[in-house]
Amino acid sequence: MKSNFNLVIDNLDRINLLHEVDISSDATVTGTKIFSKENPPDLPDLNKFKPMTWGTLLYSPSANTGIILTPKNASSAIRKIFVGWTTTTIQTALQQNLLPADLLFVVRDPVDRWVSGMTEWLTLWTTIEPPLRSEDKIQQLYYLLESDLFLRMLTDQGIVDMHTLPQSWFLKGLHYKNIKYFKYDSKVIFRISNYLSNSVDKIDYTKYNTYINQTNTDELKMNITLKLNELLARSEECKLRIMDLYKCDYTLLNLIELN
Amino acid sequence: MIIKIYNMKSIFSLYTDDTNINQIKLNHNFSSAFDKFDKNIKNLSQLNGLSDRLILVSPDQVFKFITIPKNASSSVRMLLPEWKHLMVTTPETLAIVRDPIDRWISGITQYLYAWTQTSDKVKQDARVSEMHRLIETELFLLMLFDFPINNAHTMPQSWFFDGYDYTTIRFYKYDSTVLSRVSEYVKVDSSKHILYNNRTVDSLLKMEISDKIRQILNQYPECKTRLFNLYRSDYVLFQTITQH
């Protein structure tokens, strides 16, 4: 019988994932608790992932270095900092043998990333049709954020767009061992820059603060983030649902730490 | 035109090439940022055995019935209590198909209604009140079209025929006479069974939810277009089958 873990990894079937995965016993335990050096995941590598999305690669041919861009993992900041670098997809890079020797990937706590991604999706509703922010829509959104039922439904939906797709899916076509990982935090850009300091020069940090923490500068986003975090703090069920949804990302985090 | 529904990919590629596509007027102009995600969710969905649990086989193993959620499946089970879940080959396969948007409204209504249901009466009353407030909020109703597939009730009907040669299936279109037509063909007495084909009327809240969703669909053509796009494989199926 397939374990829940395999079900998620092999299938990546959102429907099954939401409705077939048994949310009980081990399934509710985080990857950190399930796996250890003594009890490693029963997966040799991440090539078994079958993501639908080819990751975007930002690379410097001269430096033979590339950064795999993942939504909600400082990708906008990286684009702004590494100006002049070339953008392509992992698929194209593989097909045309353009894959740099040094590949970097920013990985983020899955629950934290889901909150950020869901915040972005909700905020977007206030900016579309009409293109400028409609005060009416903002008021409605604030109203919805007061509804526990609505917030719980969001955790049931889980994945709503690219920003909430599992980050490990963006590694499609790559072997996880050939990538240098950077954990997402407020200093991640500096750490990447330090890592690349020998091979890359003229990094423009001027727009760094604008892009690394956009959420903190927007009152609506701050409120949404607060409401979602409050829900996850008070509802174990909702939090576990999100953790189950991103099991493959927890696996990725564990594999990184095990190596 | 012969289609074997191996998977979603095949039927979508077929649909792309089909001139009937223009009849449905697929104006992909809904300005949500998530149109691209529709493709992902379709690719993600493979039923992997779900359909096995939805198959009923007659005692003489002549008929197999693929029961699709929101297509009178409960009524069919009530109509055919002697039929069992078996994985056998039968000479004939039957299924009920339904207008895709009509079915989606029913499915999403059930999804929302389910959120109000709990054994705690006080909690349930509070949730019903909260749901009433939610469906009065236009933004909430619009958001529903960004995550239209929630569970088996809103999965495209064509997904349930994954692996079947649809030309060998005897289809019945869903309407108020569907159970009598089915029972007549399989020679089962339906006189004792209520044609329970519109369970939405069971609940005032369900009626209110579905009315609100219909209002939004009428008010925003983009929402209808999104559903057309999402369920286009069902429209192909619906337009292609012979009515029984």
Predicted ipTM? 0.73
pLDDT digit string, tens, across residues B20-31: 322 222 222 222
**Chain A contacts of B39, Cβ < 8 Å?**
52
Q: What is the pLDDT of residues A118-148, one digit of tens each?
A: 999 898 888 766 544 567 888 899 999 999 9
The minimum CA-CA distance between A94 and chain B, rounded to whole Å, is 22
Q: What is the pLDDT of residue A204?
A: 58
Nearest to A162 among B37, B45, B48 (CB): B37
User: What mean pLDDT do residues A149-162 have?
Assistant: 87
The pLDDT of residue B221 is 85
Average pLDDT score over residue span B12-41: 30
Q: What is the pLDDT of residue B22?
A: 28
CA nearest neighbour of A171 among A49, A59, A66: A49
Interface of A with B in 111-150 (CB under 8 A): 121, 124-125, 128-129, 137, 140-141, 143-144, 147-150
Best-predicted range by mean pLDDT (A49-58, A210-219, B27-36): A49-58
Top-confidence range, A168-182, B24-38, B94-108: B94-108
List the beta bridge partners of residue B97: B173
How high is the pLDDT of residue B207? 94
pTM attached to this predicted model? 0.75
Mean pLDDT, residues A108-116 taken together: 96
Average pLDDT estimate for B136-156: 84
pLDDT at res. B14: 29
Whether residues B147 and A160 touch (CB distance < 8 A) is answered with yes
**Stronger pLDDT, A64 or A174, i.e. the higher one:** A64
Residue A209 — pLDDT band, cuts 50, 70, 90? low
